[in-house]
Amino acid sequence: MKLSQLTIEEAKNGLKKKIFSCQELVKDCLNEIKKRNKEINAFITINEKAIDEAREVDKKISQGENLNELTGIPLAIKDNILVEGLRCTAGSKILENYIAPYDATVIKKLKKAGAIFIGKTNMDEFAMGSSGENSAFGLTRNPYDLNRVPGGSSSGSAAAVAANFCLGSLGSDTGGSIRQPSAFCGLVGLKPSYGAVSRYGLIALASSLDQIGPITKTVKDCQIIFEVIKGKDEMDSTSINIENKELKIEIKNLKIGIPKQYFIKGLDEEIKNKIKEILKKLEDQGAIIQEISLAMTDYALACYYIIMSSEASANLARYDGIRYSKIKNEKVKNVEELYFENRTKGFGIEVKRRIILGTYSLSAGYYEAYYLKAMKVRNLIKKDFSEAFKKVDLIITPTTPTPAFKIGEKLDPISMYLSDIFTAPVNLAGLPAISLPIGFTKSKLPIGCQIIGKYKEEDKIFELSKIIEELK
């Protein structure tokens, strides 16, 4: 096995026992990137100092220093999370030359834990997309099938881990952008409870929905990164503390809810059958499988796209091509022309579409009909989940309605937006959810299963995920 194919847990043990050096581990990842990144296009920027950083780690190991949680582990970072001194584009031409002036809180925590950043990953522009086809730096391909999408918007973060370019990565999830690409690429991806991970230093899409989380090869690896990055941060007033719990759940009599609205016409048969297999195995071990109703599911996607677009239109107003990254044009006569020219050339089609939708939803005369109504529906969706969790401990659903689709297959925005149908309600409710691989289709495409937990109960999600990981 190549070193780049190791899990984080395996690599930690290998470094501790001095079976290999950190330089060897990082070089192996960089060699894989050199060989295959051209066809996959997972990275926008490679960290040129990664080898130097690995050399420093080797010095510490040779001097007998204790290793931190992630010492020497090569990670990739989605290109909307600031890493001081590295370019941060958010997949957009308008930020093509923007160099991050400071570290995001999650980056500070990962640095303190000893992680090495191998590079910044490709993504749908400003995290707007479900396929990885909307980046200004070219589309990302799925390592399982180069003719298919890796999912989005954390396309490069998922593709990089699946292609063994790194041992884990960070993504951001606004309506499924960690879980959906994890499902398409056969990985584990966690969307934490809203506020569980600081958003300071994340380029905002929709501030009430965005959440940073890990993408890894195993559940344990996902938990390791989450434990490092979680917690309250004075730079993010929405952040919260989550206590460390030594939890061991009993599968016997564990109540698992299955929402009937998620198993409807349009769900791929192979995905449905795989999830039924997992549920049967859990039931055989004593779990109580119970059908539940999340009645507001039908309205979740419309509600999500109104709120997300409205918040995006406000957040993206700051990108005028002047303050962060200049687009040169000598012909403009005034500031209005300059803004118009910069935003026209700097933003892609999907970003423009959502800015227009959001601005319309917030405009006088339409605010109550759209944005305010969507916020009321959001409260009903939260209530739906609250009622469901009075009856069950955890909820299991498909992560996506289909396996990874072909590049160019869903150019129609509506069919693309439907990719988020099982993931967006979780963001609206602010709950934690994980996607984990449970097998493959006959065409050898990964299938993902989603586990949704109560607010701040990531620990329960991890424990059930480990049980399912053993079962599959």
To the nearest 10°, report the CA torsion of 42, 48, 93, 328. Answer: -160
Q: SS3 for 198?
A: coil
Active-site position among 12, 78, 274, 456: 78
Euclidean distance between CA atoms 432 and 385, whole angstroms: 12
User: Look-up: residue for tokens 């380029």?
Assistant: 203
Q: Give how far the C-alpha of residue 44 lies from the chain's centroid of Cα atoms, to the nearest Å.
A: 17
For residues 387-419, one letter each, b for 16 or more C-beta atoms within 10 angstroms of the residue's C-beta and e for the rest, the string is ebbeebbbbbbbbbbbbbbebebbeeeeebbbb
Active site residue 265: no
C-alpha dihedral sign at 430, 209, 106, 214 = positive
Cβ–Cβ < 8 Å for 78, 170? yes
Rounded Cα gap, residues 212 and 223, in angstroms: 14
Active site residue 78: yes
Q: Is 276 a catalytic residue?
A: no
- Strand 188-191 to 211-216 pairing: antiparallel
d(CA 153, CA 176): 8
Q: Which of 4, 21, 153, 325 is catalytic?
A: 153
Strand order across the beta sheet in which 433-440 lies: 43-46, 116-121, 74-78, 168-173, 211-216, 188-191, 433-440, 446-452, 394-398, 255-259, 288-292
- Stated as kind and residue range, the H or E segment containing 60 is helix 50-62
> Which is catalytic among the residues 131, 157, 177, 313?
177
Under a CB-based contact definition with an 8 Å cutoff, are residues 79 and 44 in contact? yes
**Helix (H), strand (E), coil (C) string for 17-48:** CCCCCHHHHHHHHHHHHHHHHHHHCCEEEECC
Q: Catalytic residue numbers?
A: 78, 153, 177
